[in-house]
Structure 1
């Protein structure tokens, strides 16, 4: 059994606007619908748990998609709070060893071959796995304030990867890792960071680089182009 977890309690302040970015529409559906359907389309995913902001007026009220259950729970102020709340709220049949896929609500372009390879890697590695891509650009370390930054040094990019989602871990291990980080006041920016702190070394699974997270209006425009390209058979 595999369950999907989607933290969707954030406001998306970097994007701006009154409506949280996960509810903005592309190709006729909200971003979160694309994210959910990509996960639920996999035959081994039993259902999804979505962590929402208290009193979220934008949630469409889905109870199922693609014939699979979509459950909700109250999220928290930070991503880790929401993921932990969702893990705790999973149905009783999802035991400690259940594989959980944590995916961004605003990452709508997940492909099934990537998901297949992620699941296979996470089942083969007791430390879990995540989709990622090697850094290919030249990296610069800067000094100075934003808008006046200057180059301090060029950083080596070998062995550096960009972390994507989904990230796949066993429910019990991820719950314990997040609880430990929160108890110690450590702000973890993704689930893999919490697992690293707990002594695990998750596997990196190279995925498609168009598995983008929508963070800015420019990202939304790019994603609209990518999905239109696929719809028109130009991929």
Structure 2
């Protein structure tokens, strides 16, 4: 692949579901910030030029990251939602990267990413890019919210070709920026970068990735991430 690859890592969220005293990306994990494990994996991958870390303007923890002064890290300011932060990260590459370059957007709270998955992802890129994903193994149910707040089963969802979207998600920089701008202008709810590309008419490929590439969202996920990192 001749075009350059850049990474964008949104890290401006507060992670309220972790019920912690700080954003989840700065929680301790095996003696370091969770975020430092993620950045180590991304920055040590030979094909990635630089990484844009999108942070809150008044982030007090970032200076203590081992990558705060790294020469291959570009800092950008976060937005009100993830999609705005990603767009800010893309704009931070203006004048540095080409619109035809690839950009890999990765959740900062996925510290268990492996280089082997990055190899598969970059080898599997199609015209509309690709995302890491995991085939659904469980029986899936569609629920219906009741007036009393309970949820009952509406129906069983066919799980054949049903996938959990993971990250990184990789697209042409210019195409992703345009797709995000269009979706936001139209008021379309962007749940991930692939949804913006889909809205613009693209059909990204699904590349099967490891199921241990988990996103740390709840307190119990931290112990699971530590276990997976210990197995690397």
Same fold (TM over 0.5): yes
Of 211, 217, 220, the match for 1:218: 220
Instruction: Give the Cα–Cα distance (whole angstroms) in 2 for the partners of residues 175 and 148 of structure 1.
Output: 40
Change (3 A) 1:217 1:147: farther
1:63 is aligned to: 69
2:26 is aligned to: 23
Of 69, 87, 92, the match for 2:90: 87
Are 2:127 and 1:121 equivalent residues in the alignment? no
1:203 is aligned to: 205
Q: Which moved more, 1:206-215 or 1:113-122?
A: 113-122
How many positions carry a matched residue from both structures? Answer: 225
Are the aligned partners of 2:106 and 2:168 in contact in 1 as well (CA < 8 Å)?
yes
Within a 5 Å distance, the mapping from 1:84-233 to structure 2 comes to 84-90=87-93, 92-122=95-125, 125-145=126-146, 148-230=150-232
SS in 2 for 1:14: helix
Structure 1: any 5+ residue segments left out of the alignment?
A: 231-235
Are the aligned partners of 2:142 and 2:154 in contact in 1 as well (CA < 8 Å)?
yes
SS in 1 for 2:227: helix
Change (3 A) 1:120 1:163: same
Q: Normalising by structure 2, what TM-score?
A: 0.93
CA deviations 1:9-41 (Å, max 9, x no partner) are: 111122222200011121111111111111111
SS in 2 for 1:225: helix
CA deviations 1:165-202 (Å, max 9, x no partner) are: 00001100000000001111122110000000000000
Are the aligned partners of 2:43 and 2:72 in contact in 1 as well (CA < 8 Å)?
no
Q: Which moved more, 1:125-134 or 1:144-153?
A: 144-153
Instruction: Give the Cα–Cα distance (whole angstroms) in 2 for the partners of residues 43 and 159 of structure 1.
Output: 32
1:233 is aligned to: none
Instruction: Give the Cα–Cα distance (whole angstroms) in 2 for the partners of residues 222 and 167 of structure 1.
Output: 23
Are the aligned partners of 1:63 and 1:71 in contact in 2 as well (CA < 8 Å)?
no
Deviation of 1:91 (Å)? 5.2
Q: Normalising by structure 1, what TM-score?
A: 0.92
Instruction: Give the Cα–Cα distance (whole angstroms) in 2 for the partners of residues 24 and 149 of structure 1.
Output: 33
Structure 2: any 5+ residue segments left out of the alignment?
A: none
